[in-house]
Structure 1
Amino acid sequence: MNKEFQKKLNELSKLSGYEKPKKISGSLKLDSNENFVIGKQFQSDLINTAKKRCDIREYPLGGTEKLIAKLSKYLKVPSNMVGVGNGSDQILDLFLANFCTRKTRILTSEPTFAFFEERCKLYGVKMIKVPFSDGMTLDVDQFLSKSKNADLIYIDSPNNPTGFQFSKQDIQKIIKKFNGPIIIDEAYGEFSDYSVVNLVKNNDNLIVIRTFSKAFGLAGLRLGYFVANKRFTDIFSRVIQYPYPLNSLAIEAGILALQKSNQVSSIFSLIKKERERVIKNLRSYDIFEVFDSKANYVLFDAKGLDSRIYNALAEQGISIRKLGKLGKHKGCLRVTIGTKEMNSKFLLAIRDLVR
């Protein structure tokens, strides 16, 4: 191997990459913000029907166009403003690889979506980070003051892992005052108070990225999409994106899921209700500091007890996410909101651990 290749390998070896949660066989999986409130039978029926509608011997010619037409109706935006990707991760990755350089400065929060942060490190893109307050909120004026030094803004709305979401008034203020591109990542948008998808029609600098993974419970199919101005969408979809970014089965499953969107949307209310129950329950213990959330997960600081609680839950077959230090909070844990039964099992285990 030549020296330049070796040098690049050495540089990349120093990066940690995105850390996926450990796979614990047979565990109650509350560590990755997946949507288990959607029943497995619903998904089985979806996949079985999708299999009958496609021939995987063929390339999916015209498939993404069919899915985009359905997304256009679901989102109430023109189809030429909608693009798709192999999960929202791939859309973010292609954006960074093609529109950013080592001179680009991206304004975001601290913490933010870990995958996005790791990809910025991979491409050598500089990040300007605005830290969350002790109560895990962001001040819009402080955020805007930092934007003067930025070329681009990335906001995960709601934020992962805190669950924080700017008020709609504050997010509109950011969009209005910042001239450069603004990426709003709405991976958990269906569980939140609002979406800014409709604002794309009148704001050419706005790119909203979304996914089927959370709301529709299709994390394993890797279905992402975005809404942006017509010119960006055309160039991204025609030139930058892969010729066949989605497989045939995923395309058909996505179309079928959108056809059942009214049925799925009722689940969002259940998740929000359960989220409030989990927050209220955890707050009943003085040893935790529990943060508000607009997503399908709850972040809480267990302080010095985080390792003990994480390990004790794991021994009982309950897997949550151990995040450790976030800002001034040193013992952060994040739990996904599952079904009522799943949440009750988690809360009962917590009760037995701390009483």
Structure 2
Amino acid sequence: MKNSWYEKKLEEYAKLGGYKKPEKFDDVLKLDSNENFVINKKFQQDVISYAKSNSDVREYPLGGVEKLVSKLSKYLKVPENMIGVGNGSDQILDLFLANMASKKTKILTSDPTFGFFEERCKLYAIPCTKIPFSSDMKLDIEKFNSNLKKCQILYLDSPNNPTGFQFSKTQLESLIKKFDGLVIIDEAYGEFGDSTTVSLTKKYDNLIVVKTFSKAFGLAGLRLGYFVANKKIVEVFNQVLQYPYPLNTLAIEAGIASLDKVDQMKEASEIIKSERKKIIENLRKYDAFTVFDSNANFVLFDAKGVDKRVFSALVEQGISIRKLGKIGTHSGCLRVTVGTKEMNSKFLLAIRDLLG
């Protein structure tokens, strides 16, 4: 039968497009997905080796999540019953959106915000009120304050992707304190920023702080996310919303092993912060660019009329960065991941050869 209900539904979904992953290029220096290449490769090898030796994948990972949560509890300094986990922070956000929001729920967020979250809101037809960034890629806290009463959920990725902007902990607490609805703070890049709101979950029952092992711990391929919230939210999430086995055995054990190596993660994060500063300072030497401050492991810059030329020239030299185009009043935005010192030097040298 033609034009059946499911074909119409598929056509509706096809129009949405979905989350756009970066272009894939072979044999390039990959600085387009905010992956952490700074953390020592031995860290990854040790973590995977531990996971393999402590796993039997013939068995379901019964009790595994509880072991990981116990480790996270010590790391985060919050009780175990305030922690939930998921197959990447994406899945956690998706489950909250699918089950806690609807077409009648209005979400307050920034413009832009995390692309996956935006696309999921479109998929579920959840209306969003978006506060735009200023020309220097900053957000006005008062614009959020004035819209709080009109919305039921506040979502902020802080530090923000793709701008790198981060509200202070004091500013975020002022919003949480005034808001009657649900607050979701996405701290995927939190370890590269100035502060965290995790401790505020003990104070405010309406706060969910979402985090991940993908960025600071360099375990993006294992799809390992977690969140902190009051015990009632966590209990409902774990028992009703989440899958019976949300994480595979190897990911669980790798997460446990990585939490025994927090010092290595912190050391890599400090290198990234230092290298980030170097990239910003170097890019600001060129009149062709407007470069924005960042509290994440990437730098956003507007290459104005030469953005496509810069992107293509870098690919030709074996370097892939993210082409974003128009953001707010800026039409030629590019985003580069902060890599190792060698990677960053190669990127900056390529920019110098192109524009110097």
Q: What is the TM-score with the length of structure 2 in the denominator?
A: 0.98
- Aligned mates of 2:65, 2:73 — CA distance in 1: 12
- Whether 1:310 and 2:314 are equivalent positions in the alignment is no
Equivalent residue runs for 1:136-151 within 5 Å:
136-151=137-152
- CA drift of 1:346 comes to 0.3
**Aligned equivalent of 2:300:** 299
**Aligned equivalent of 1:221:** 222
Greater displacement, 141-150 / 313-322: 141-150
User: Which 5+ residue runs of structure 2 have no aligned equivalent?
Assistant: none
**Aligned equivalent of 1:157:** 158
- CA drift of 1:23 comes to 1.9
- CA drift of 1:3 comes to 2.8
**Aligned equivalent of 1:65:** 66
Count of residues in Structure 1 that have an aligned counterpart in Structure 2: 355
- CA drift of 1:268 comes to 1.1
Q: Deviations over 1:262-319 (max 9, x none)?
A: 2221111111000000000000111110000000000000000000000000001100
- Whether 1:179 and 2:180 are equivalent positions in the alignment is yes
- CA drift of 1:142 comes to 1.0
SS at match of 1:84: strand
Equivalent residue runs for 1:228-307 within 5 Å:
228-307=229-308
Q: Deviations over 1:153-185 (max 9, x none)?
A: 000000000000012221111111111000000
**Aligned equivalent of 1:321:** 322
Structure 1 segments, 4+ long, off by >6 Å, are: none
Code of the aligned partner of 1:58:
E
Code of the aligned partner of 2:123:
L
Q: What is the aligned-residue identity percentage? A: 66
**Aligned equivalent of 1:40:** 41
- Whether 1:85 and 2:86 are equivalent positions in the alignment is yes
CA contact (8 A) 2:83 2:227 kept: yes
- Aligned mates of 1:208, 1:41 — CA distance in 2: 30
- Aligned mates of 1:179, 1:83 — CA distance in 2: 22
User: Which 5+ residue runs of structure 1 have no aligned equivalent?
Assistant: none
- Whether 1:31 and 2:29 are equivalent positions in the alignment is no
- Aligned mates of 2:54, 2:152 — CA distance in 1: 44
Q: What is the TM-score with the length of structure 1 in the denominator?
A: 0.99
- Aligned mates of 1:342, 1:263 — CA distance in 2: 20
SS at match of 1:343: helix
Code of the aligned partner of 1:226:
F
Code of the aligned partner of 1:55:
D
- CA drift of 1:40 comes to 2.2
- Whether 1:4 and 2:14 are equivalent positions in the alignment is no
- CA drift of 1:4 comes to 2.2
**Aligned equivalent of 2:55:** 54
- CA drift of 1:7 comes to 2.1
- CA drift of 1:213 comes to 0.1
**Aligned equivalent of 2:21:** 20
- Aligned mates of 1:26, 1:41 — CA distance in 2: 22
**Aligned equivalent of 1:206:** 207
Q: Deviations over 1:204-256 (max 9, x none)?
A: 00000000000100000000000011001000011110000000000000000
- CA drift of 1:93 comes to 0.5
**Aligned equivalent of 1:349:** 350
Code of the aligned partner of 1:310:
F
- Aligned mates of 1:199, 1:168 — CA distance in 2: 9
Code of the aligned partner of 1:188:
Y
**Aligned equivalent of 1:96:** 97
- CA drift of 1:11 comes to 1.0
- Aligned mates of 1:211, 1:263 — CA distance in 2: 16
SS at match of 2:171: helix
- CA drift of 1:45 comes to 1.9
**Aligned equivalent of 1:108:** 109
Code of the aligned partner of 2:183:
I
- CA drift of 1:343 comes to 0.4
SS at match of 1:148: helix
- CA drift of 1:12 comes to 0.7
Code of the aligned partner of 1:304:
G
SS at match of 2:146: helix
- Aligned mates of 2:75, 2:168 — CA distance in 1: 23
- Aligned mates of 1:103, 1:11 — CA distance in 2: 20
SS at match of 2:196: coil
CA contact (8 A) 2:39 2:264 kept: no
CA RMSD of aligned residues (A): 0.9
Q: Deviations over 1:298-345 (max 9, x none)?
A: 000000000000000000110000000001100000000000110000
- CA drift of 1:5 comes to 1.7
- Aligned mates of 2:318, 2:61 — CA distance in 1: 40
SS at match of 2:162: coil
